[in-house]
Amino acid sequence: MVIRCPSCKKQDTRVIESRSSDDGSAIRRRRKCPRCEKRFTTYERIEDQVVIKTDGSKEAFNRDKILNGILKACEKRKVDPEAIEATVDWVEDRLRAEFEKEVPVEAIGQLVMDKLKELDEVAYVRFASVYKRFEAASDFAELSNKLKDI
């Protein structure tokens, strides 16, 4: 990445120090211009994604919502907390790879369900019942039959 000096506009600045910001959302870089010797700071941030909800409204992507949904589905199950964290990481990585700025909420739910099916079938059914808004016992039976076929 080429960063221009704000003082003399030379394009070949040097990074002299890098570290994460306090909240971990950015990388802070101290730079120095070889021409004018001016020092300055730049920040690199990952552009946040926006989730498109089923009603068409938009909200900022929130990793914690995915984590909380999975934790709720895995409640009182013997699921390794590291596996849950790895699942959230995997979902987040896939979303960043597949979608640039706007992510449909359906894509998030489907990715979570795909991973929960591998992780714990009961957690998968719990999550699916909320995500797909089950209204009757027949909805659970239908999902259970699909699991048997796999």
- In the chain, what are the domain boundaries? 1-46, 50-149
The pLDDT of residue 3: 87
Mean of the per-residue pLDDT values for the chain?
87
The pLDDT of residue 2: 79
User: Which stretches within 49-104 are classed as H helix?
Assistant: 63-73, 81-98
The pLDDT of residue 69: 94
Tell me the C-alpha distance between 20 and 28, whole Å: 6
Task: Tell me what percent of the residues of the chain surpass a pLDDT of 90.
Answer: 48
Q: What is the pTM of this model?
A: 0.64
DSSP state letter for 104 = E
CA 54 to chain centre: 19
pLDDT in tens, 76-111: 999 999 999 999 989 988 998 999 899 999 999 999
Buried b (16+ CB within 10 A) or exposed e, 98-127: ebeeebebebbbebbbebbbebbeebbbbb
3-class DSSP assignment, residue 93: helix
| pLDDT grade for 146, boundaries at 50, 70 and 90 | confident
The pLDDT of residue 149: 65
125: amino acid identity, one letter: V
Give long-range contacts, CB 8 A cutoff, 24+ apart: 44-47: 47/101
Identify the residue with better confidence: 141 or 118: 118
Tell me the C-alpha distance between 51 and 38, whole Å: 41
Q: What's the rounded mean pLDDT across residues 128-148?
A: 76
